[in-house]
Structure 1
């Protein structure tokens, strides 16, 4: 992904929870899979580059204007 001319990598982390039950025939089967979101990480793809992101609002900061990234970052308290 490109953010104001800086190549960036976006990685999302989640866990998967599997529920298994043994059927009447004695065979185990997965009956449900639940995905649990943990976090997103946005990092520069190239060394010695910098992403100017305002963590309070998820805007890229550059050239005197903010650009909405569509990220839902937690607000500082």
Structure 2
């Protein structure tokens, strides 16, 4: 009998396939959450850009954010 590489799967290929199957199942257990906002300067009314209120020390007070902000989180329960 003749043994050819094409007739049997390579051990490395089998290991990669097994890892991919395990990783695919684990991906369902990942939770994601996030928060994103754009301040009033990010919008316009009738073609005119809105401006920030400029309340000085209260930079993150609602309505005083002039920038874009976003945060994202991935978590997996063990």
TM-score normalized with structure 2 length: 0.32
* Higher-helix-fraction structure: 2
* Higher-strand-fraction structure: 1
